[in-house]
């Protein structure tokens, strides 16, 4: 089953803000798992959170739960044998997406990463968002603790999420002696919700612009407001044009971007776009309490998205990403209130630059060059090295690749 492009109704969606809400919910779900846990994450660290996940997975595996994990070879490159071996011995199938050895201590496998963050338990419950399994998503981490979001979802859409992640897991080959795959069972009426949901992914094959396209369609249809909170903001020209057009027709367009970024270049790049957007009426806030890592948006009173995809060249043209697109008034209201809290308590409104003096010829030149960069980068980035990525099973001697399974590791089969 591929990610669906149609709305799937009858879902219950709960917002999980930061690690304080996300990690306990995930660990509780794993502790209650009966048959299967599927997990994909960009980052898994051997810190306090990583060890808690490790313990939860070990306990589940030892009581007979089938566990498949996929971690990224760049984001999770430092897992030790002492962390990995007990999982393998307990029956966990741990795979690494496109790993590479360090060269002189540096990692160069930075392009086309598996950036998704998904957990599916018993084909009944799923978690999708931007939160990695690392302690820096907790406030207790300190000033560098990240601000981020995920969702917990129950309902018919979980079947689509489960089928997608299950297919990716099976690209390494079926488990030996595995029973038939877990199928989603009818859920009690009390767990049903009213949210319409689409599960949308981005890959380097048939879904190269899927997530960005949902953003553009929603912004184009906006009538009252658009609120985007995104950690790494440097989108293509088509999305920027929709934001400007929305503001010009009277839509209240608000961007919440990093004011205290974990990577300074992020702020420098985003600020190149401020004037272009502000001159059309877009309001830009910088969040300064701690690094913003969220990838969420609200349009009008009913449309939202939460997921792993930033609005930058890596996420929009290179990485493997997954978002949920949600149509639900109650959930939209909840997310809107949380974003408004950030604006009211921890954001600074950025004033537009004053008009350039006559001698400042570099400003229009900068705009001209930026326009041409953004109008074409989605094509230019596809010229970067593009090879079939490999998935290495932890403890195995040889990687499993698309050629050996008849499917692509992007999950597009």
14 is catalytic: no
Cβ(69)–Cβ(92) below 8 Å: yes
262 among known catalytic residues: no
Q: Which of 211, 202, 410, 168 is nearest to 325 (CA)?
A: 211
Selected catalytic residue, list 54, 72, 98, 115? 115
The CA distance from 314 to 330, in Å, is 32
Instruction: Please confirm, yes or no, whether 115 is among the known catalytic residues.
Output: yes
Cβ atoms < 10 Å from Cβ of 368: 10
Among 35, 260, 262, 300, the one annotated catalytic = 300
Ramachandran region, residue 178 (left: φ > 0; alpha: ψ -120 to 50; beta: rest): beta
Annotated catalytic residue within 68, 72, 122, 410? 122
Which of 137, 146, 293, 346 does the annotation list as catalytic? Answer: 293
**In the annotation, is 295 catalytic?**
yes
Measured between alpha carbons, how far is 412 from 307 in angstroms, rounded to an integer? 18
Residues 54, 68, 98, 117: which is the catalytic one? 117
CA angle 256, 308, 161 (to 5 degrees): 135
Buried b (16+ CB within 10 A) or exposed e, 41-56: bbbbbbeebbebbbeb
To the query of whether residue 300 is one of the catalytic residues in this protein, the response is yes
What are the two backbone dihedrals, phi and then psi, of residue 202, each rounded to the nearest 5 degrees?
Answer: -120, 130
Write down the catalytic residue from 295, 312, 328, 410: 295
Tell me, yes or no, if 160 is annotated catalytic: no
3-state SS string for 153-197: EECCHHHHHHHHHHHHHHCCCCCCCCCCCCCCCCCCHHHCCCEEE
Q: Which positions are catalytic?
A: 115, 117, 122, 293, 295, 300
């Amino acid at each position: 089953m591929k990610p669906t492009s149609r709305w799937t109704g009858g879902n219950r969606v709960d917002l999980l803000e930061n690690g304080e809400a996300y990690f306990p919910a995930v660990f509780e779900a794993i502790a209650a798992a009966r048959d299967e846990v599927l997990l994909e994450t960009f980052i898994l660290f051997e810190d306090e959170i990583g060890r808690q996940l490790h313990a939860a997975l070990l306990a589940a595996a030892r009581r007979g739960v089938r566990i498949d994990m996929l971690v990224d070879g760049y984001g999770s490159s430092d897992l030790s044998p002492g962390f990995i071996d007990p999982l393998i011995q307990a029956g966990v199938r741990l795979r690494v997406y496109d790993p590479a050895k360090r060269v002189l201590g540096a990692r160069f496998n930075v392009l086309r990463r598996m950036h998704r963050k998904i957990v599916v338990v018993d084909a009944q419950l799923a978690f999708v968002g931007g939160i990695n399994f690392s302690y820096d998503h907790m406030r207790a981490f300190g000033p560098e603790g990240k601000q981020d979001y995920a969702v917990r979802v129950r309902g018919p859409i979980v079947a689509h999420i489960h089928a997608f992640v299950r297919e990716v897991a099976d690209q390494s080959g079926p488990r030996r002696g595995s029973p038939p795959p877990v199928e989603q069972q009818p859920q009690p009426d009390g767990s049903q919700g009213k949210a319409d949901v689409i599960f949308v992914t981005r890959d380097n094959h048939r879904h190269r612009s899927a997530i960005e396209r949902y953003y553009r369609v929603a912004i184009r249809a906006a009538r009252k407001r658009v609120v985007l909170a995104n950690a790494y903001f440097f989108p293509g020209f088509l999305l920027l044009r929709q934001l400007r057009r929305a503001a010009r027709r009277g839509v209240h367009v608000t961007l919440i971007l990093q004011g205290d970024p974990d990577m300074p270049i992020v702020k420098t790049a985003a600020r190149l776009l401020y004037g272009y957007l502000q001159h059309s009426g877009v309001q830009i806030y910088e969040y300064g309490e701690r690094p913003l890592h969220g990838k969420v948006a609200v349009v009008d009173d009913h449309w939202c998205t939460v997921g792993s995809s930033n609005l930058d060249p890596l996420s929009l043209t290179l990485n493997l990403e997954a978002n949920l697109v949600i149509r639900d008034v109650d959930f939209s209201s909840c997310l809107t209130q949380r974003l408004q809290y950030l604006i009211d308590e921890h954001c600074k409104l950025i004033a537009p630059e004053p008009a350039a003096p006559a001698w400042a010829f570099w400003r229009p030149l900068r705009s001209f060059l930026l326009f041409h960069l953004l109008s074409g980068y989605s094509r230019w980035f596809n010229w970067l090295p593009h090879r079939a990525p490999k998935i290495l099973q932890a403890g195995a001697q040889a990687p499993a690749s698309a050629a050996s399974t008849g499917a692509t590791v992007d999950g597009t089969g």
